[in-house]
Amino acid sequence: MSLLPIVWDARYSPVFPESHRFPMAKFQLLKDWVDLHVPKTRCYSPTPCALEILTATHHPDYVQGFQTGTLDQKAMREIGLPWSAGLRDRTLLALGGSIKTCELAREFGLASHLAGGTHHAHYDRGSGFCIYNDLAVSARYLVSQGFASRVLIFDCDVHQGDGTAAILANDAHTFTCSIHAKKNFPVRKVGSDLDMNCPDGMTDDAYVSLVLETLDAVIASWHPDFVIYDAGSDVHVDDVLGRLSVTTEGLYARDYGVISRIRGLGIPCATVIGGGYDKDRVRVAARHGVVVRAAQAVFAQD
Ligand SMILES: [Zn+2]
């Protein structure tokens, strides 16, 4: 029986204001959902990301400021999350979780993180609920360890991956591709190696075709040897911050299509959940579960 490696930790959901727009409880609820709906998984616990790995991608002063809770109010406002020791600890732990997921993907071909996708974090500042950029940190880690030399970051979160694009702009070992809603946050986008803009209200067929054709084109032209897939569920029609009209079936078609193409070529693939927003935390957790369900289906056939 093939068990899909997943990475998660109970500390991903620390005590947090219940009414906050960021649904911190969703990580626990996602694990509950996966246990119920995707039983053929094996869960691994992460270790916190080492500071020397973190500072290979982020400015040491920014890291020091966040770790000690001494960032100024403006910097914390831009992040949009209230600082606490629990938030600090879960942030380093989830960053370590994305790295662990990449290591497992290297070993098993495919692995899924039940967190990650903090693509708005820049070199020296956080933004849009993102503190450190796990996509950039993980890609740099893979290359520095000799685990990969051409890492594709395939970002399907509904928001543009501005932080990842900025951090990795001059990195020849990475390719950043963002497929997002044109009119959504961030207002000031930073050019990725490839950006695809989606019109408001885009529906399943047009959206899934765009994603899969874009992936095929990037793989054919750039030849990645590792893919980090940000499967943001905020493209969903019911997401409160998305502007697209993708159904749960469309989400599954996207995730299954992306992962099966990558694995069909024998390329290791690590998935992260990206963004997803809903007042109903159980519903948003279920939408994040779609990528795990799709990954498990691909893994079982590998
Ligand atoms: Zn998003």
Query: What is the whole-number distance in angstroms between the Cα of residue 189 and the centre of ligand 1?
Result: 13
Domain of residue 287, residue span: 4-12+21-301
Structure tokens at 67: 């770790």
What are the backbone angles phi and psi of residue 172, rounded to the nearest 5°?
-70, -15
pLDDT digits (tens, 9 = 90+) for 29-60: 999 999 999 989 999 999 999 999 999 999 99
**What distance in Å separates the CA atoms of residue 212 and residue 222, rounded to the nearest whole number?**
15
**What distance in Å separates the CA atoms of residue 277 and residue 52, rounded to the nearest whole number?**
32
Query: What is the whole-number distance in angstroms between the Cα of residue 192 and the centre of ligand 1?
Result: 16
Give 97's contacts (C-beta < 8 A, 6+ positions apart).
7, 8, 9, 12, 46, 113, 114, 115, 116, 134
- Contact status, residue 302 vs residue 110, Cβ threshold 8 Å: yes
pLDDT digits (tens, 9 = 90+) for 92-132: 999 999 999 999 999 999 999 999 999 999 999 999 999 99
Query: What is the whole-number distance in angstroms between the Cα of residue 62 and the centre of ligand 1?
Result: 23
CB atoms within 10 A of CB 274: 26
Structure tokens at 252: 């599954």
**What distance in Å separates the CA atoms of residue 241 and residue 238, rounded to the nearest whole number?**
9
Query: What is the whole-number distance in angstroms between the Cα of residue 159 and the centre of ligand 1?
Result: 4
Longest dimension (CA), the chain: 51
**What distance in Å separates the CA atoms of residue 174 and residue 263, rounded to the nearest whole number?**
19
Query: What is the whole-number distance in angstroms between the Cα of residue 238 and the centre of ligand 1?
Result: 13
Residue 1 has pLDDT above 90, yes or no: no
- Contact status, residue 186 vs residue 159, Cβ threshold 8 Å: yes
Query: What band does 180 get if pLDDT is binned at 50, 70 and 90?
Result: very high
| Domain CATH code at residue 74 | 3.40.800.20
CB atoms within 10 A of CB 259: 24
What are the backbone angles phi and psi of residue 268, rounded to the nearest 5°?
-60, 145
Mean residue pLDDT of the chain comes to: 97
- Contact status, residue 14 vs residue 90, Cβ threshold 8 Å: yes
Nearest to 164 by CA among 187, 184, 194, 142: 194
The length of the chain in residues reads 302
Count of domains in the chain?
Answer: 1
Query: What is the whole-number distance in angstroms between the Cα of residue 88 and the centre of ligand 1?
Result: 21
Query: What is the whole-number distance in angstroms between the Cα of residue 127 and the centre of ligand 1?
Result: 12
Query: What is the whole-number distance in angstroms between the Cα of residue 39 and the centre of ligand 1?
Result: 27
pLDDT digits (tens, 9 = 90+) for 243-277: 999 999 999 999 999 999 999 999 999 999 999 99
Tell me if the pTM is above 0.75. yes
Query: What is the whole-number distance in angstroms between the Cα of residue 102 and the centre of ligand 1?
Result: 21
pLDDT digits (tens, 9 = 90+) for 122-150: 999 999 999 999 999 999 999 999 999 99
Residue 190 has pLDDT above 80, yes or no: yes
- Residue 89, helix vs strand vs coil: helix
**What distance in Å separates the CA atoms of residue 35 and residue 69, rounded to the nearest whole number?**
35
Query: What band does 18 get if pLDDT is binned at 50, 70 and 90?
Result: confident
